[in-house]
Every structure is written in structure tokens, then in C-alpha cells.
Amino acid sequence: MPAHPTPSATAPLRFGANHVPSSGWFYSWLDFDADQIARDFDDLAGLGLDHVRIFPVWPWIQPNRSLIRSSAVEDVLTTIDLAAARGLDVCVDLVQGHLSSFDFLPSWVLTHHQRSVFSHPEVREGLRTYVDALAGAVATRDNVFALTLGNEVNNLWPSNPTTVADSRSWAQELLETARTAAPGLLCLHSLFDDAFYAPDHPFAPADVTTLGDLSTVHSWVFNGVGAIDGPVGPATLTHADYLVELAASAGEPGRRVWLQEIGAPLPEITPESVREFVTGTIDLVAQNPALFGITWWCSHDLDRSLVDFPEREYDLGLFTVDHRRKPVAEALAEAIAAHRGPRPSPAPRQRIECPVDLLREPERRAEVAPGSDFHRAWVRARTEGPVEIVPPAVTS
């Protein structure tokens, strides 16, 4: 049973942001500045958001398998308290893991050790220690509502060899550890969309839709969707709803789906199309009765004094590094105001049958990937109104 009551379909949508510190990116955990974090959270609270998702960096908290740095844990707790003072709830991601194209792994996994995060027993034992310590600590704060095992941990493959079975048992093990340490919180597993679209990917749709208390999806139109019909074409504007609906169709009835990351990346989303992309995407996905909430990536731009990031990573923020509100933030605030409060009763939905049993046939995932015949048919149907994806009929 879930450790936390699953929110009902009539509960108001949650709106938040993934916090990328305005000063020093995530390297700022190494030189913690509470005043700077407070200013970041002031920015976000001013948009009408109700939560932030934060990203402690694993190797800086557990630099040795037997050592948890208490001062680093205290910095995380201070961050949570600063959010609380501004009326913001918090989701804590545990294993970073992977952030903005960089992997962050402790030296006891790397160098001559060369041990897979997902399959090596000693690494998994060390991770259990880490998750138990950090989950137990943050559970002492009333404004923490959720834990995610990590940020798109499937990006750590293939440098950390794994199989579908190892990936799943790894997540099951750490979810159980988190639930035991923090029994009042939602405990979640987060993967990027290859889990739904890539046939040979060793993380399966079932990992998203059957593990954890909610399903989480990350909708990025640089996965090929933006090339189908441009920044505000129907495939682009409906991709978040499509991914939410794929997850909902492969989960138990009533299981909620959190759109945990979505952003407006350049060059796929041009400056001229930002407002229409933001408001159009949210207007469409908000109609999905499975939707739990939307958490925008990300809070603040990345300072261009930091080098070697992919170009699109620098300008994804709602705010600049000097705290100026960007057009994307204005559009998000407008969308939040439009969708705040009780949710309307779901509109009738056209039903379309998925050609693939995503739980049992993950090797056929390409048949639902962006640009596939099924995806294009769904997009056409979605232009006429909300669409429900149903699993393929069982044949004897």
C-alpha cells in the first residue's frame, strides 16, 4: 500500500519549479549561502507556486561509503526551512546522480572501483545507508511532501551497466528504504522518457507506472517532438498530455501522474512562441484527470561563466541569474492563475487503443514513440478534444 494517501482526481493541481540555484548552479551546495537560496525562493513564491523540487548532490553528502556528512544534511534542512518560510512545500530528490548532462557519483563508485550503481551489492548497500539517512532527516520537516529516488537516474546507464531486472530491484529496494525512513511522504521513482520510447532501454514503463506512490514523467520536446510540427504545432503542445496519458494507461486505475519536469528549451521553443507554448501546453495537459501537478524546469538560468554545459541548459530558467522575471515566468504565472482552485469535472474523452501492452511488451516501445503512427494518430484525435489511451484488447 502507498505510504501516503494518493491525492484524489478532484484535488487542485499542484504547481511548482525545479530549483536550480541562481548563484553557482548546484555547485553552490559546496559553498552554501542561505541568503541566496532565500532570494531564489522569494522569486518563486511570487509566481504563485506551491512547491519546489530540490536536488542535494549525493557524493557531497556521502563522499565515503561509511560517511554521511552531517553539515551537508543540515544545509538541506536549512533549504527546506527557507522554503517553508515562503509558503513552499518541498520534494527532495535523493540520488544526484545526473543533472543537466553531468553525472555526479562518489569516488567509491568510480576510479579503480568501477562498480555499477544499479547492480553492485556494496554500492547498493551504501545507497541504502544514504537514502535512510537523508530521507529520515528531511521527514522531520512538515513542508516536505515527497521524495524522489533521483533525477532521471536512467541517464547513469550505460556507464553503470544494468538490466531491466537489476534496475527494477534497485528501485524497489530504495523505495522500501525511503518509505521506512519517511513513512508519511510520497515516495517516487523518476526516469526520463526513454523508459517509454526506447525499445532496448533497461528501464521499463512498468518501473514508472507500478513503482512508487505516483507515476512521474518528464516532457521535453527536444526528444524529436519539436521537429514534427514546430514550437506551437499540435504534436508539440500535446506532448506533455500524451506522456501523462501513456503513463496513466499503463498504471492502475486512479493512479495519478506528476508532470515533474517540463520546460521551454531553445531552439525548439523560440522566444516568440514561449507564451503560447507555456499556456497552450498547460491548458491541454490540465484537462487530463490523471494529472497530479506540474513542476517547471527550472527556476533560474545557468550562469554563462560556467562552461561545458549543453547550450540549451543556460536559458531554461523562469528567472535570470540576477533575478529578473522572464517571459516564460509571466506565462507560467498566467497559467497558474487560470487553473488554480477546484478542478472541473473531466470532459468526455474519445478513446484510442494503444497498439502495445507497455507493461508486458517493452521491446515494442518504438511503436508509441514521437513520430510513430500511433503517436500521430493520437495527435490528430487530440486536436478534436481530450483523448484517453486504453490498453490493447486481450485476445484469447
Task: State phi, psi for 70 to the nearest 5 degrees.
Answer: -65, -35
CATH number of 14-347: 3.20.20.80
> In whole angstroms, what is the distance from residue 168 CA to residue 189 CA?
10
Q: Who contacts 137 (Cβ-Cβ below 8 Å, separation ≥6)?
A: 73, 76, 77
> In whole angstroms, what is the distance from residue 242 CA to residue 79 CA?
34
Whole-prediction pTM value? 0.96
Contact call for residues 73 and 32 (beta carbons, < 8 A): no
Residue ranges per structural domain of the chain: 14-347
Residues 177, 182, 185, 190: what is their CA dihedral angle, to the nearest 10 degrees? -30
Task: Compute how many other C-beta atoms are within 10 angstroms of the C-beta atom of residue 341.
Answer: 9
Q: Who contacts 307 (Cβ-Cβ below 8 Å, separation ≥6)?
A: none
Cell of 45: 513564491
- Which residue is listed with cell 518541498? 90
Contact call for residues 328 and 297 (beta carbons, < 8 A): no
| Per-residue confidence in pLDDT tens, the chain, 396 aa | 334 556 666 789 999 999 999 999 999 999 999 999 999 999 999 999 999 999 999 999 999 999 999 999 999 999 999 999 999 999 999 999 999 999 999 999 998 888 999 999 999 999 999 999 999 999 999 999 999 999 999 999 989 999 999 999 999 999 999 999 999 999 999 999 999 999 999 999 999 999 999 999 999 999 999 999 999 999 999 999 999 999 999 999 999 999 999 999 999 999 999 999 999 999 999 999 999 999 999 999 999 999 999 999 999 999 999 999 999 999 999 999 999 999 988 889 999 999 999 999 999 999 999 999 999 999 999 999 999 999 998 543
Cell of 114: 568501477
